[in-house]
Structure formats: structure tokens, C-alpha cells
Structure 1
Amino acid sequence: MRSRIGTSRLYGAMVCGLLAATSYAGHVMAEGHTLTAQDYAQAERFMPYNTMPLVDHAVRTVHWIDGTHFWYVDHDVHGDHYVQMDVTSGKASPLFDHVKLASALTKAGAKSVKTDKLGITDYRVAADGRDQVEVGGTTYLCNLKAAGECVDKSTLVKTGKEPGVLSPDRKQEAFIRNWNLWVRDVVTGKETQLTTDGVENFGYATDNAGWKHTDNAILEWSPDSKQIATFQQDQRLDGDMYTVTTRVGHPELSAWKYPLPGDKNITMIERVIINVPGHKVVRLKMPADQHRSTLCDDVSCGEDGGWDDVKWSQDGNTLAFVSTSRDHKHETFRIADTKTGEVRTVFHEDVATDYESGNGTVNWRYLPDTHEAIWFSERSNWGNLYLYDLTDGKLKHAITTGDGNVTEVLKVDTKTRTVWFRGVGRTPGVNPYYQQFWKVSLDGGEPTLLSPENADHTITMSEDGKYFVDSYSTTSAPPVAVLRDANDGHTAASVAKADISRLVATGWQPPELITLKARDGKTDVYGLMFKPTHFDPKKKYPIVDYIYPGPQTGSVYTYGFMPSQYDDQSLAELGFIVVAIDGMGTPWRSKSFHDTWYGNMGDNTLPDQVVAIKELAQRYNWIDLERVGIWGHSGGGDATADAMFRYPDFFKVGWSESGNHDNREYEDDWGEKWQGLLTTNKDGSTNYDNQANEDQAKNLKGRLMLVHGTIDDNVPFYNTLLVVDALMKANKDFDMLMVPNQHHGYAAATPYITRRRWDYFVTNLAGDTPPKEYALKPWPWK
């Protein structure tokens, strides 16, 4: 899963300008060449907004309508086609009349809608049979059976603007207003207040993890849509974080609750069950719990929202949940009686470092009908599933065993006692990052592989569990999507096969998969290498290391197919070898691999980056080991500055964006999960000193650029100012760009920042001269 400081290569929002600091003679110079605008234009050809439209029929994700129908978007040279497939016949047909829908949406007020580019982000069939589509953030109800008519859904029913969480029966949605929880009737718009004692910073279902704070409600509806599991979140004693805007006149101050590692008071939650028809709140009979998760550093980890560590029984009488300790070392599985609020502790798991319940999704499951629970654990050094007896809390047996990880449990059928899951590293000889799909009996035994291709598999199962769509690919082989039987994996129908002929015609080439040795000289680490399309093996090329150190994700965005992994190929095109290497301490491998530098976040995978690049230089004499650059965003920005300070004779040029340079100045759950609880020694030193970049800044020798958005509410820009202060006190030269009125991503400023980064490496690492003020295309991402 890419949350927070890991999703940084895609940016969003508006810019007002920026402030540049000092400049000085470069440390790395070679016999230079003057690059032209045409050279930069050639590099820009391989940016995502230019390559992605050239991939035809690349179906990765489908959306199930019911047990026998799903829809997907099929793109080709003629545009986007919305298609539905009937699994019983294996035949595909248009989901709707594109021409009629485009016309109806335009008449209803939707902007920039074209027949070949509808821009639909969500589609479903409404209760009255009309097509419900979401375009540009607006939901429309459309009748396409006659001439075609769409209407903005919000004009039909007058309600508040608060975002709601839809009930399973799709008749109500729950939302927050004035710190209390309400429900509104979807058809009539009637609103009903459910709680009355919510107050500022002690509200119901509020979404505030410090680094993330939204108006969304965090809750779980019961299957019968009559109860809601949520919490009253206490942040009244939490410390605040502040940003101010840049403008003429008085700046606008933003303040929100943002606990830090070591704070005495951090966010706590009081768990409650709300009976919706009776407007009754049942408070669970237990002390306030930590605002923590078994999966990430928020109680809501997935893209679809929700409360991940809470599972209802089908009858709504009981609720299972897991409590996570502040340091993520202790997990407690509990069951609550939803009518009385009584809570029973069933079992615990304690670990030496930090517990996680999977990759991408919480993998534990509540099976009340058989008084069992599926539990995920890395106790064997690998992520496996275990079956527990809920009557006594005892382990019954392991469901899966051996090397390799269960990454995502996608479905459990208690009648057939079958579990379907994605997994990595479970097939010898297959790339350990390739996800494959399996099924296994709850009673144990050998799992059955349902996706045999040596590739990375994206799986979407039907709700009834009878079928799944499998889209598989590698970095060089584009996606093939097929419909498969979930019982034995046989192919029931072909969905789509990607065609990259238009992409290849531009001169595009795939990155090279590289396998190198880690710091210990034994462990394999994997990565991607990008070379210029005009590569000449007789030349010597400077090398740039794109880094994201984890611990929750790595430098490589995917080992499946992507026509562009951000601007890696574009940068290579300017005369560089570009690498992205997943060092030790990143996920998806063994527990010991992931824990390599637990408690020592200043490691940042850098020992692996250094030895791997040296190995590449030994392997290929066209890599110039005297000209090594590094860059990254967020966690990668932290690692970049760290690299320039800890390995000043190896890394000569660094570009550090929005780095969390000292995790004592970043939200509490991040550092306390990976570095441990903050402790202060008698001499004033702390266990966090080993990760503080400002303490290493005096070692800088090379050329370093520091970049940060001034209203970053994820990683506050004070993190970068700590490093700036230390560099100035050490009398070090450095460069800086502050991006006014921008958050963690740079949005409309992204083309400018990207071009400046290219210029920085071209000038200071390659010793060449870039074209003056080349303008990259404005990015189309919203």
C-alpha cells in the first residue's frame, strides 16, 4: 500500500511562486555539452502523461456490478470505452450509449465531457434503475432509455455538503456535523442527529491522524444497516501544528491537532456502538484505546476508507476488533456485545519490533458462526495465516506455512472453509515482488495456485466468490486480463490484451530488472535500471539513484507494467543511468528483512544503495562511479539529505524534496512505530538522535538542493528548516526552493520543480548546460 510519505511521486494543488537561495560552483564537472530544447522535448516524450495514452487495452481493474457482470474502461487510439462483460456468456458489450451519455451530461452542466473521454470516476445502477455516474466530483442520475437525460443528484434532494458513508442497504449515509454523527435518508434527504455530546476535538468518527485530516466519517455499518461502530476521538490535550499562507496582507493561519513522538498526550478513542433507529449510543466497557492500526499509521488505511480493524458479525450482535499499543508491539483481539457494551479479550500477540497485519489490507477475519478467527502473523519470519478458537483464545493450527507472505486476504467462504489470498515469494524462481493468487482450506493443507503466470497479478473477485478477473504483467510485458474460475483458476474468458505498438513506435524501451547483493553480501535486492534510448556503451554515464527508503514501501513503484515510472526514463534520456533499488528495511520480503534497521531510521537503506551501485559499476564499465547523484520526495527527501551527509564522498549531487528530516518533528505514530517510543537519556541524548539529519549536516561536501511546500500539512516544512539552520551554522553552501502555498505534493508547480530537478543534475552531475527555462507541459492530474 503507498500511503503518506510514500505516494509522493504524484503531486496535486495550485502555486503562487517560489523562493530560490544560494548557488555556488559545482563539485562534479565534466567536459560539458549544451543541451537544447529538443533534447528536453525528447525526454518529455517519456513522461506519464505522454506514454500512458499510447497503451491500448490495458485493463487492470474491473468493477463488479453483480455476480455475473462487471464493467471496465478499455482505452485505445479512439478514446475510452466503457464496457461490461457477462461472465455466463463471456461476451462484452458497451456499458451504455457513449454519445447519448456525453450529450446528456453536457446538458446537465458537466464540463469537458467528450464522447471519447467521458471522465467517469464511478458508475453504478441506482435503485430506480437509472445509471448513476460520477464526473468531475459531481454525481448524476441518467435515464438513457429514451433521448437521454441526466440530472445533478444534489439538485434532487437538498441536504448538507458533508461527505457521507453509505449504509449496506444504500438507503442512508452517515456523516459528521459539528463534531456529532448524523444520518441522512438518501431518497428524501431527511437528516437525523444520532449523537449530541460531541464537542470540538472530542467528536464522533472524526478523521484526524495528524498528517491526514479530512471531513470524512470513520465508521463501520452493521450488515443490516441498523447499527454503526465508531468512536469518540479525544484530541483535546493534543499539541497543535501550524501553517500560514503567503499573500499580500495578513497571512491565513491553519492550526490542527498533530501529536509528536514523545508527547505525553496523544489522540485516544472511546469505542461506541450506535443504534441508528433508536438513536442510542452504547459505549464499550473498556478504557480509551490508542488511535492506532494493525496495518498503517491511521485507523483508516485503505483507499476506500472505513475502519480497518473492526469486523461485524452477520447478525449484528457482536463486534470483533483489535487494539494496538502505542508502540505497535502489542495487539489484543477483542469481542464486544453490541447491546450491552461488554468486552471480552480473546488473545494477544506481542512482538519485539512492530506488528503489521499484512500488505495493503488488514488480513485478520472474524468467523463468529464457527467461533473462529483468522489471524495474520510473521512469527515464523514470514507472513502466514493462523486459525484461532474464539471460545478459549487458543491457536488451533496454521492455515498457511512456509516461506513467502500472504499479502491480502480477498475472500473467506465459511461454508466451503476456503480462503482466497494474494501472496508473494511463495513460488521458487519467481520474482519475490510478483503477487500471485492462491486459495487454501481453513483447515490447512497445501495452497492451490490460481494464477500460474510468472508475472505480477492484480485480482478483482466477484462478491459471490465464483469468479475473479486477473490482470497480469511484468515491467516489460503489458497487462493481459482474463476472467477465471475461482475454484481451480481455469480461464473462462479473455477480457483484454494490452497493445503497446503505438508506445514502442516512439522509441520507448522498458526498464531493466536488476538483482544485486545487499550490504551483507548475501541477500538479493531488486530494482529497476533506466538507460537512455540513445545509449552508447562506449560512453561513461553519471548515475542517479531515485530513493524511497520505506519502511512502508520502496523505491520501485511496481514490478508490473507501467509505461513510465514517473520521470525515471525522462531523466535517463538527458544522459544518465537512473536506478531505483528496494533496499533492506522495505516491505514484501521476510520479517527480518523488513526489520533490518528498526530503531535506526537514519539507515534509510543507504548501505544497500551504496554497495548495489558499486556492484553495478563493476558489472558495467559505462557507469561513472565518480558521478553519483540521488533524489527523492518525502521519505526519499529525508534519505537524500541523509545520503549527502553520511556518504559525502560517494553521493556528489542530491535533490531533496519535502523530507521528514527529523521524525521528532513528524506525526507521532510514524516515528513511534518504526523508531520506537522516544526516550531521553541522563545526558540529554535520545534514541531518536541517530535519525536526525540536522545532526549530520556538518558533513556535507557535495551539491544539495532542499525543496519544500510552505503549507505542507503532511510533513511540516519546519523539518527542512531544521536542516537549513544546521547547514548555516556549519557554514555550508546549499541550494533551496520553497514552494509557496503548496502542500506535500506540488500540483501545478510540479512541472516547474521537475524541470529544475532535471537542470540541477544536468548542470551539477553531468557537467552539461541545460536549455534556458524549458517549459514542461502542465500535468493533467487532478
Structure 2
Amino acid sequence: MAAFPLLIAAQLVAAPAPTLRAPVVAPAPAQMPIAARYRLADRYLNDIDKLVVDRDLRASFSRDGKQVIYRRGALGQRMIMLLDPAIGQPREIVAEDVLRELLAKAVGKPIKPGELSFRRPEVDATGALSFEAFDKRWTYQTGALRVADEQPDKDDEGLSPDGRLRVIARDYNLYAVPAKGGREVALTSDGTREQPYGRGIPQMDEILKQGTEEPTMPVSVRWSPDGSKILTWRLDTRGVHPLSFTQQNVPGSPYPRSFRYIYPLAGAAKLPTATRLVIDVAEALKRGKARIVPVQVPAEELLYPADPDMGWQGKRIRIQRTDRGYGALTVYDVDPATGAATVTAREAMKPIVTVTSSSLRPAPELGGELDISERSGWAQLYLVQPNAPDDALPLTRGDWEVLSVEHVDDARRSLLLTGIGREADRNPYWRGLYRVDLDGSQPKLLTPEPLDHDVTVSSDGRYAIDAMSSPTTPTVTVLRDARDGHIVTELGRADPTALYASGFTKPEPFQGVAADGKTPIYGMIFRPANFDPSRRYPVIDNVYTGPTTTQVPASWNAAIGVNPNSVAQLGAVVVTIDGRGTSRRGQAFRLPAYQNLGEVGIDDHIALIEQMAKRYPYMDTTRVGVYGGSAGGYDAARFILRRPKFFKVAVASSGNHDLRLDKAWWPEVSMGNPAPEVWERNSNMSVAGNLEGKLLLIHGDIDDNVPVTESMHLANALIRAERDVDLVILPNTTHRVSQPFFWKKFRDYFTRNLLDEAPPPLPPVAPAPAPAAQSQ
């Protein structure tokens, strides 16, 4: 038997050496014309739901947790489905497009395919579907849609629990008015414009909608459960520096209009304050005069134009107060009769309490407050008892993070929570659902599959809807039993057949190390459709350095739905990176961002891009661009200003380029309230003179989140530094600048300056209509 292979070997040895020829290399196929690439970019930006069946089932529980209502099928053919977990057999309720057309006709507004949205769906015993949409509750059955008998509760905080009284705000004061008519009673009398009662800070959208700096607003009061008292507050804006804005293009008018408004600004010497108080309405009605009880909690500086945190817990009051610069979160128990306040929980961290990784929530069934705290260096869960506000009983431990408490089961003395980074066999950013028993035992993982689990728990804690996926694994949505995690049934799974048939190139997760050469960091690579590795591609970094969030998608829905897929179609490799300073990796990983937003992450991004290019030489690191919006707009400008030799082109939209011109909560949650020189060091204006490449600033003129003055200030600083800058102000546009003209300017900028190509020409000019004949 050995002779045969020996014979073959001898023949091979005796065979003459082949003649060597130069390998034939096929020429690279011609790149798609730029106009076609723009069209594909539009498709991946706007039409993902047309290309993926069952990408998002929009599954939700009924209010009692005993029904699951979701959608199945391709766009235009989706069915609204009902599953009763006790029965286990899903059934069809109505075609989505049928319901969409009926609702559009009923409200007199068009609803595009795929854009039917509703809340709190229920199906009754007769099969009738009810839901909330357009501020009404509707009922659908056997082809007919009508307004339901039951209507959703309006946010009428002024109405007493028994419906007999209403508190109204007028001329900066509060009045109690019988709901069915009768004598009103003044509850306050000394309110002024700068010190109103029960009135929050008017926001820009309401100012614009109503055309006045003093728009009508809901009264801000909280009725006691027995309807005898109200908990309210008094705003004080004295000495607060106002902002102003001008709407240049007023619908229906040739004239612009300007407004002044209050916006709590980071680092400001004076912020609006809130002082809480209790008013005995029942006594006021009897005596004709109200007794005001000041709540003995220090006035709170408001870091955002929203009501202060306060509410009733039975006959007592719970108040949560945030220190300026996020030095502490404090919970108080208040006696409404006297206003006396007792501290029942406190979360204080050095150097700062990061509220996106910390929270306090009442748990009266457990006799205290549930506290997600970083006191161990990781966001873990604790139970704080009222008699020991600075102490805490740890309910979880370890080098991982608790994200949220989903359900408290008092009878079983257990909790359901979502966490991240606990399991060593999976990506540290993947979420999981856990059951935690209060006996001190280890958390039990209810979602064992090594995937990201986007979980919704029913109101009774019995079941959980789990959309599980990874950036490379399409979503499978299942219903789980929340007691032990077993899968009750599969609701549906995403089908990307049409997406892949379009030439779509799957995003690739990438792991490397930070600029320190040792800390693991993660990113993602997005390549154009019909990717050709024989070409050289410029690199574009989609940046958002945090620190309150992460940028790299962890789920499949997020990975295929984010705009880098669209941007890559220009003919570039787009990357996203979570460097040091971002969230969900523990306090030490995020702390490089503290008082350092202007530097954090820059070198980690460069390090990981270089590691990517070492593995994939088609990534051309001599042509690197960067873009981002909001805080990412700040980052994009910062990157090109601080590392001008590496980043050559930047598009920064809606950027908060000087943190002192942004609402206080966002910068101060990372910066605290530092000295002026720290704010100045982190301002993009301070480094404007470094610009060498091409920078485009884009901002909406009525941005209601980051004032347009931010981009105007940076443009001015660049001009004064004799640098070049391009600026686009989008008319009648808020913080959300995504619109066709934005994307045209965005794409054209990178096409010209990074790809060195000409953008597609404008469409032909339509012929002007002939002038009407003039009669003599």
C-alpha cells in the first residue's frame, strides 16, 4: 500500500520546474459614480426599514402585563399581533397600513408608511384594540376606528384628586378655583415675573409656538393624595443672565422676531433657583387666606429648565436635591404640616457624582431608597435605610455596572435589574437581565446567550420582552419568563436578505488598546457597499467622546441603523470609537474626562485608527476626517484644532464649542463647577488659531438645546485668528439638523476636501412659468 504514494512522490520530483510568469492582476472595477453613491447614502440613511423585515417589532406589554402587542412582516405588509403568554398562540389583530390610513383620516394628517406610532395598547375580551395617539385614546374593531370612551389622563397637575378644585396660575400667583364654578381664593399674592409661584422656566419651543416670552404653561403643583394640600415651588431668576435669539424667517411674516429667555448656563455665577413650599388649600378655602409652609430644604440651583424633583409618598413628601457641580444627590423626607425635612439618603462622590451612572429611587416596599452608586468604583446597587443616609447595604458587588432597576418584587424579596460587563465571555458593553435576591446571593443571569439584550419587563415582573442581538447577529425577539429566564416563545427575527442583496457591507467590531498601550478599548468599522479592499479609502471618524454615554453600537439594530453606514457610501471607511472618558466601564475609565473634555479621547481615537490601518492597509491615514453633532460637534472641531496634523477635514454640527454657553447639567456633570481658567482651557475658542485643515460649522438658528451663538462664537474666533472656516446656518431649525440640505452640505464637504472629487451637480433649473397676460 505504501508504493502508490512513493510513486506519486517520485513523479513529482522528476517533473520539470514550471515556467514562472508574472501574476495576472485584474484591474480594480470602476468605482460607482458619485451621484449613485449619494443615492445609496440616502437609501442607507432613510430606508433601512424597507430593507430589513422585522428589524424592530415595537413589542410592548399591556398595562397589566398580561398581553404582548407587537408587529410582524415587511413594511407595507406588517400585521399588528397579540400574544397572551398564558395561551401562547399569537393572533393577528389588524394590518398596520389599514390602521394607519384610518387614523390619518380621523386626525386629518398624513401618516407615512412605517410611521404609525401609538402608546399603551390593549386588546379586550371582544378583540377590540385600543391605544393612545394624537392626544386621544382610540378603539379599533372589525374595520372601524373611533374615539374611545376612556380618554388618556391629561397632565393636569392643577386638578385635585377628587376633581372638585383646580389650582391655576395667573399674574405669577396661584389661585384655587372650584371646578364647577364658585369663588376663587388667592393662595399667593407676592409673585413677580422674576419670582413666580408654580411656574417653570419657559423653553424656546413654547416661546416660538406662542410668540411671547411669557407663554401659557401648565401650573406646577403636586396635590396631596387626600386633596387638602399642594406641594409647589417658587422660581427665582433675579440676577440670572438671559440669552436671546432671533427667528429670521417667521412663517407668514416678512419680519424677524427676537426673544430673551432664561437658560441655566454652566459655570455661571448665578443660576435660577427653586424654593419648595406647601400650601394648605382646604384651610385657605375655609379662612379665605392661605397658610404657606416653607419646606426646610435649601433652595436648589436649577441645572436645566425643568421642575425640581419633588412628590408625595403617602402623607409625607419626598424631595431629591442636586448640588451645584454634582457634588451630591440628597433625598429628604418632609413633614407637610411643618416643613421640617430629614435627610434619608445621600449620594456623595469625589470628585463628582456622575448622574448617568448614579441614581436614587424610592423603594418603600423595601423600607428605603435604592441607590445605584459608584462608591466602589463601579456602578453597583445598594439599599439605603432612612436612619442611616450615608450608609448602604450592598445588593450587588463586582467590577461591572448596574444600569437600571426594572422591577421590585416585595413578596419574593428580589429585584430585576439590567447590568453590563459582568460576564467574561462577551463584549463588556452587552446588556443582560439579572434577578437579585435580597439574601445576599449572587445575581442570577436570566439572559444567558452571549449577545446584547434589550429588555422590557412587564409591570407585574412576570415576563420580559428580550430583543437579543450583536452588531453582527440580526435581532431575535423573544418572550421570557422573568422568574428563571427561560424562553416562552419567539416573537420574531430580523430578516436582512434585501439589505445584504443591495451590496451592504456589514459593520465590523474592532478591539485594540488606548494610547497608553494597555487599556482595552473598542470601536467599529463601517465600509461602503460592494467594498473593494484593493482600493485606498480615506477614514472618517464619527465622534462623541462622552462622557455620559457610549458611541459604538452594541446591538444589531443600532449597528445597521446609525448614520456611519450612510456616510461610508461616499467612498470612505467610517469608524466609531469609545476611548477613555466614556461611560459603562467603571469610574476609573471615565474619570479622564473630569474637567478635561477638551482633551479626553483624542489620542485614543488616533491610536485605534492607526491600529485599524495596520490590520487593514486600505485605510489611508493621510486622509482622515471627523464629524459629530451636539457634544460630538464640539469634539469634531476640537479634534481638528488640537491634532491638525492627523485630522484634515471636520464637519461640526450643533456643537457646544464653549461649555459655558451650554445648559448647566451637561458640562457640570463632567466638569463640576471649576475655576474660569478651566472652562477657558476646555473652550474651542481658546485653540482656534491651530486650524490647518478644512472645518465646516453647521447650526440651526433656533437651536433649543445648544444655542446657535456657540458656532457663531467659534466662527468669530477663527476669523480673528486669521483661519479659514465655513459656516452654514439652517433657517427655522432646532438642535435636530438632519434634513436633506444638511446632508448635501455634509457630503459635499467631505467629497471635495477629503475624497478630492467633485460633488454631483445640482439638478437642472426648472423653467420659469410664463408671465400672465396683461390686459390693457
Q: With structure 2 as the length reference, what TM-score do the two structures score?
A: 0.82
Q: CA deviation at 1:435?
A: 0.8
Task: Give unpaired runs (5+ residues) of structure 1.
Answer: 1-31, 301-305, 681-685, 776-782
Q: Identify which of structures 1 and 2 has the higher relative contact order when contacts are C-alpha pairs closer than 8 Å and 6+ apart.
A: 1
Q: Is the 8 A contact 1:709 1:746 kept in 2?
A: yes
Identity of aligned residues (%): 29
2:259 maps to what in 1? 254
Q: Which amino acid aligns with 1:766?
A: L
Alignment equivalent of 2:578, drawn from 555, 572, 582: 582
CA offsets 1:104-127 (integer angstroms, 9 cap, x no match): 54663443369x768242244599
Q: CA deviation at 1:437?
A: 0.5
Q: Which amino acid aligns with 2:353?
A: Y
Single out whichever of 430-439 and 477-486 deviates more from structure 2: 477-486
1:332 maps to what in 2? 330
Q: Is the 8 A contact 1:58 1:496 kept in 2?
A: no
Q: Secondary structure at the match of 2:38?
A: helix
1:238 maps to what in 2? 240
Distance 2:412 2:40 in 1: 56
Distance 2:747 2:194 in 1: 44
Q: Secondary structure at the match of 2:727?
A: strand
Distance 1:384 1:436 in 2: 14
Q: Which amino acid aligns with 1:290?
A: E
1:343 maps to what in 2? 341
Q: Secondary structure at the match of 2:635?
A: helix
Q: Is the 8 A contact 2:361 2:370 kept in 1?
A: yes
1:697 maps to what in 2? 688
Q: Is the 8 A contact 2:420 2:432 kept in 1?
A: yes
1:485-634 alignment to 2 at 5 Å?
485-556=481-552, 558-562=554-558, 564-634=560-630
Distance 1:712 1:216 in 2: 23
Alignment equivalent of 1:422, drawn from 408, 418, 421: 418
Q: CA deviation at 1:87?
A: 1.4
Q: CA deviation at 1:474?
A: 1.3
1:27 maps to what in 2? none
Distance 2:737 2:187 in 1: 39
Single out whichever of 170-179 and 712-721 deviates more from structure 2: 170-179
Alignment equivalent of 1:290, drawn from 290, 293, 300: 300
Distance 1:271 1:58 in 2: 43
Q: CA deviation at 1:55?
A: 2.7
Q: Which amino acid aligns with 1:58?
A: D
Matched, 1:758 2:720: no
Distance 1:520 1:227 in 2: 59
Which structure has the bigger radius of gyration? 2
Q: Which amino acid aligns with 2:244?
A: Y
1:47-58 alignment to 2 at 5 Å?
47-51=45-49, 54-56=52-54, 58=56
CA distance 1:253–1:500, shift in 2 (3 Å): same
Single out whichever of 205-214 and 513-522 deviates more from structure 2: 205-214
Q: CA deviation at 1:83?
A: 2.1
Distance 2:78 2:165 in 1: 31
Q: Is the 8 A contact 1:363 1:375 kept in 2?
A: yes
1:264 maps to what in 2? 269
Alignment equivalent of 2:118, drawn from 117, 121, 125: 121
Distance 1:190 1:403 in 2: 62
Q: CA deviation at 1:343?
A: 0.9
2:669 maps to what in 1? 673
Alignment equivalent of 1:200, drawn from 176, 193, 204: 193
Q: Which amino acid aligns with 2:275?
A: E
Q: Which amino acid aligns with 1:257?
A: I
Distance 2:178 2:475 in 1: 42
Q: With structure 1 as the length reference, what TM-score do the two structures score?
A: 0.82
Q: CA deviation at 1:721?
A: 1.8
CA distance 1:629–1:107, shift in 2 (3 Å): closer
CA-atom RMSD, angstroms? Answer: 3.9
Matched, 1:144 2:135: no
CA distance 1:69–1:574, shift in 2 (3 Å): same
CA distance 1:208–1:554, shift in 2 (3 Å): farther
Distance 1:492 1:173 in 2: 48
Q: Which amino acid aligns with 2:85?
A: V
Q: CA deviation at 1:568?
A: 1.1
Q: Is the 8 A contact 1:317 1:339 kept in 2?
A: no
Matched, 1:472 2:468: yes
Matched, 1:717 2:684: no
1:683 maps to what in 2? none
Distance 1:189 1:141 in 2: 31
Alignment equivalent of 1:735, drawn from 703, 726, 734: 726
Matched, 1:397 2:386: no
Q: CA deviation at 1:56?
A: 2.2
CA offsets 1:357-393 (integer angstroms, 9 cap, x no match): 555xx74333345533322210111001122232243
Distance 1:209 1:602 in 2: 31
1:72 maps to what in 2? 70
Task: Give unpaired runs (5+ residues) of structure 2.
Answer: 1-29, 208-216, 285-289, 765-776
Q: Secondary structure at the match of 1:366?
A: strand
Single out whichever of 75-84 and 721-730 deviates more from structure 2: 75-84
Q: Is the 8 A contact 2:63 2:459 kept in 1?
A: no
CA offsets 1:252-283 (integer angstroms, 9 cap, x no match): 11221113234332121122456787788864
Single out whichever of 391-400 and 486-495 deviates more from structure 2: 391-400
Q: Which amino acid aligns with 1:332?
A: T
Q: Which amino acid aligns with 2:299?
A: D
Q: Is the 8 A contact 1:476 1:561 kept in 2?
A: no
CA distance 1:498–1:128, shift in 2 (3 Å): closer
Q: CA deviation at 1:667?
A: 2.2
Q: Which amino acid aligns with 2:756?
A: G
Q: Is the 8 A contact 2:203 2:305 kept in 1?
A: no
1:37 maps to what in 2? 35
Distance 1:458 1:643 in 2: 33
Distance 2:101 2:117 in 1: 14
Q: Secondary structure at the match of 2:598?
A: helix
Matched, 1:767 2:749: no
Q: CA deviation at 1:323?
A: 1.9
CA distance 1:597–1:125, shift in 2 (3 Å): closer
1:656 maps to what in 2? 652
Distance 2:118 2:174 in 1: 27
Q: CA deviation at 1:767?
A: 1.1
Aligned residue pairs, count: 715
Structure with the higher fraction of residues in helix conformation: 2
Q: Is the 8 A contact 1:47 1:564 kept in 2?
A: no
Q: Secondary structure at the match of 1:601?
A: coil
Distance 1:275 1:94 in 2: 52
Q: Is the 8 A contact 1:634 1:657 kept in 2?
A: yes
CA offsets 1:217-252 (integer angstroms, 9 cap, x no match): 667677788876553333343221111011475421
Distance 1:95 1:189 in 2: 45
1:644 maps to what in 2? 640
Distance 1:107 1:210 in 2: 32
Distance 1:472 1:185 in 2: 52
Q: Which amino acid aligns with 1:724?
A: A
Distance 1:473 1:112 in 2: 33
CA distance 1:450–1:343, shift in 2 (3 Å): same
Q: Secondary structure at the match of 1:720?
A: helix
CA distance 1:273–1:436, shift in 2 (3 Å): farther
CA distance 1:220–1:500, shift in 2 (3 Å): farther
Q: Secondary structure at the match of 2:416?
A: strand
